[in-house]
A and B are shown apart, each in its own frame.
Chain A
Amino acid sequence: AQKITQTQPGMFVQEKEAVTLDCTYDTSDPSYGLFWYKQPSSGEMIFLIYQGSYDQQNATEGRYSLNFQKARKSANLVISASQLGDSAMYFCAMREGPTGNQFYFGTGTSLTVIP
């Protein structure tokens, strides 16, 4: 089974509007971390936001927030007030347990912000 599933290959959003990028995950480990990365056309992976499995509140970082629904195993990224510079690929990732060596990545969502 896929560890991370991103079902939206491509999304469009009007500038200044909010957009939600979906992510579901699969793990039996009670301790895990969920991450979102942005990959612009330059190719570098840019860390956006982190949510720990034991965190009680949804993570927020500026215009980014993570809608964490533990029972549903979903960790959707919400971008508010979209900007043209937000156009990029977005990857959801998970790291399992306190000793996990690797991240598991989804296949990504391509976001295009329309002026």
Chain B
Amino acid sequence: GAGVSQSPSNKVTEKGKDVELRCDPISGHTALYWYRQSLGQGLEFLIYFQGNSAPDKSGLPSDRFSAERTGGSVSTLTIQRTQQEDSAVYLCASSFDRPRATNYGYTFGSGTRLTVV
């Protein structure tokens, strides 16, 4: 597609429920990233995909968080047994293959605003 698409744009869920957040990157972008933005905070790195593999999962805050990517395209971030502190905006970004130079910006989606009540 023309841009990075995320769905849903808003999600309200009850504490303890599982949620799935979807990211559809720009066609041809092999790298995909998930970030979390809590209210009034900067972006917190969660996970990076190169193709379907995730060489860097260092930012996932707990084992309740997992992500997968299929077909080198769509990615799903799953949060199990949601807690109130999981409330945040979850942003996805994609780029071309990990660059040899550092002058590759990302293209971000508009995010999913997750509210756990």
Contact = CB atoms under 8 A, between A and B. Distances in A.
A and B interact physically: yes
Interface of A: 4, 6, 31-33, 35, 37, 42-47, 50, 52-53, 91, 93, 95-108
B55 interface: yes
Nearest to B44: A105
B103 interface: yes
Nearest to B98: A99
A54 to B, nearest CB: 9
Given A45-B91, A95-B102, A107-B41, 11 more contacts: A31-B102, A44-B108, A47-B105, A96-B102, A98-B99, A98-B100, A101-B48, A101-B55, A103-B43, A103-B106, A105-B35
Nearest to B31: A101
Contacts of B56: 101-102
B109 to A, nearest CB: 7
A52 B103 CA distance: 7
B8 interface: no
Given A35-B105, A102-B33, A43 B45 contact: no
Interface residues of B, number: 29
25 contacts: A4-B42, A32-B102, A33-B101, A33-B103, A35-B105, A37-B108, A42-B110, A43-B110, A45-B91, A45-B106, A47-B107, A52-B102, A91-B42, A95-B102, A96-B102, A98-B102, A100-B102, A101-B55, A101-B56, A101-B98, A102-B33, A102-B56, A105-B35, A105-B44, A108-B42
Interface string B53-69: 00110010000000000
A43 B113 contact: yes
Contact of B42 (A97, A100, A101, A106): A106
Contacts of A105: 35, 42-44
Nearest to A53: B102
